[in-house]
Chains A and B, each alone.
Chain A
Amino acid sequence: MNLSIKIGKLKLPNPVMVASGTFGYGVEYAQLLDLNQLGAVVVKGIRLDPVRGNATPRTVEVASGLINAIGLQGPGVDGFIKKYWPFLKTLKVPTIINIWGTTVEEYAEVVGRFDALGGVGALELNVSCPNIKKGGAQFGTDLKLLAQVVAACRKVTKLPLITKMSPNVVGIGPFAQAAEDAGSDALSIMNSYPAMAIDIETRRPKLANVTGGLTGPCIKPIAVKLVWDAARAVKIPIIGMGGIQNAGDAIEFMVAGATAVAVGTANFYEPQTPLQVIAGLREFMEKHGMKDVKEIIGSVQIVK
């Protein structure tokens, strides 16, 4: 049974990775699960300098979901390389670095730093974080800026580039195409959806940042639709994510057109989820007599 897939030139042992920001830098979960069984480890978003992040409360639980406004707290490139890279580079599975910046130049500079580091599996460009004023979603919701960022990063690296797409656009097709045309090797769909929760007694927003990004099972149908739309617009592989809790959810994304998937919010309440998804995927393939996981990709049947 073949579970391996490719993202650009990067080969993954299986299509199940973890979503940026929900798995720290890998090491935190090392005592709870065998990281080497994952398709890839994807780390929390990193920019050039350390970032303090937003005030608290930073997250709020809502029906079948979570709203977060962490504000991309992180150690910066140097802090990451010093503190987390020594562990990550010992893993047998690829590490994908999620990066962001406030300008096109900063994105390219961070990409350059990780290109020079050596041993990185791929770079994921976060152009879709709803929780920071400058940078993030600003790039992912403007076709021109998106193309500029991706092209600038493409120039400075041969590493596979994954563009992490915003769901907050009228149609994802043109954005997916813009990223592909600018040289992106793959797309991650989707980042969190802008959202808000209010305490009716105090009349105050439940997040210090007022608004945040919605994730978890409640966004899954939205994400599946976006993957399906994007899959018809581009040829590059798509990493589907948004509310995956079990193998069935992951397979649904793949049937819609995703080549790989990522488990996000579910890690917080069930850290074994990614491994359960891999096991369930094998069972599904066995049950349906499939030899290669690629048989699932884009197999959706639309009866006209």
Chain B
Amino acid sequence: MLAVLMLEQTVQIVSNERDTDSYFRLVLRAPLIAPLIQPGQFAHVRVWPLKDALLRRPFSIFQVSGDTFSILYKTVGKGTDALARLGVGEELSVIAPLGHGFTVPERGGETPLLVAGGYGMAAMYLLAQRSPQRGIVFVGGRRRVDILCETEFRALGWDVRVTTEDGSHGEKGLVTEPLIAELRRKPPVPHRKVFACGPTGMLKAVGKIAEEYNVPAELSMDEHMCCGVGVCLTCVIPVKTGNGWEYQRTCTEGPVFEARQVEWEETR
């Protein structure tokens, strides 16, 4: 059994403000949960005003500060829209921290190369903050507004490489292009390790690239969830085993998986 320590708590909203465009930052006061959080873990959030849409929504934990933690979310449907309408002082139910997160590099160990697409940035901040050595973060999005928390990463002293598909900010193109350029660089950065979070297509591309350049990689997978704690078997992805593959739970064995474990041939 994985020794996850999780809690279900009713927590208060400290702030809930628009970041850019359709992205919001939600800060929650959760004194018992905040100290437990590891990079790459998520919170399962019940948005009470949803009424007949019953399920909790999963969000990566973005930042932790004192007795609060935050999430960075994009409004994409009824749950996130309802979340955006909540005000300071209102309450939510969260189950957190959940899942198996990123392996934080040891001091003098790997140099992290973070790759993030869209709200995938949110999952990476704690990893950058808690990594003993700085690295490079590759951030990609469609437009300028999809590039999140660039200033925070710069404030940590990280090298930030931005790409947008429409060229409105940073280099024009896909986030994988500067990643490949970096992996080709001679001499390479010592002990490189890739960590990625973003849309499944991006994760698949990053996984293949890491394999090609023989660099270890951890990917945070995005799957639909119901329970978030491992009982319903909704959130599974195909994972290689000794003699084939099996479905493992994104909410429990994941969301972070080693890239070479994922059996991409069997994904949708």
Contacts and interface: CB of A to CB of B under 8 A. Distances in A.
A268 B233 contact: no
A272 to B, nearest CB: 7
A143 interface: no
Contacts of A32: 6-8, 95, 229
A25 B53 CA distance: 26
Contact of A31 (B4, B236, B246): B4
Interface residues of A, number: 36
Nearest to B245: A52
A56 B54 contact: no
A65 B54 contact: yes
Given A61-B55, A65-B54, A66-B55, A29 B234 contact: no
Interface in B232-258: 232-237, 246-247, 252
Interface residues of B, number: 31
B52 interface: yes
A73 B233 contact: yes
A13 B246 CA distance: 38
Given A31-B6, A32-B8, A270-B46, A22 B54 contact: no
B231 A24 contact: yes
A57 B236 CA distance: 9
Interface string B56-91: 100000000000000000000000000000000000
A174 B235 CA distance: 38
Interface in A1-36: 21-24, 27-29, 31-32
Q: Is the interface of A mostly helix, strand, loop or mixed?
A: loop
- If over half of B's interface residues share one DSSP class (helix, strand or loop), that class is named, otherwise mixed; here it is loop
A56 B6 contact: no
Interface in B1-54: 1, 4-8, 46, 52-54
A269 B232 contact: no
B5 A73 contact: no
Interface in A204-244: 208, 216-217
A130 to B, nearest CB: 16
Nearest to B223: A56
A59 B5 CA distance: 26
Contacts of A58: 233-234, 236
Nearest to A83: B1
Nearest to A21: B232
Contact of B224 (A24, A59, A65, A269): A59
Of the listed residues B8, B95, B247, the one surrounded by the most CB atoms of chain A closer than 10 A to its CB is B247
A29 B231 contact: yes
B145 interface: no
Contact of A208 (B6, B54, B237, B268): B268
B230 interface: yes
A198 interface: no
B8 A61 contact: no
B227 interface: yes
Interface of A: 21-24, 27-29, 31-32, 44, 52-53, 55-59, 61, 63-66, 68, 70, 73, 87, 208, 216-217, 265, 267-272
Interface of B: 1, 4-8, 46, 52-56, 93, 95, 223-224, 226-227, 229-237, 246-247, 252, 268
10 contacts: A21-B232, A22-B232, A24-B232, A27-B1, A31-B6, A53-B236, A56-B237, A63-B52, A269-B46, A272-B8
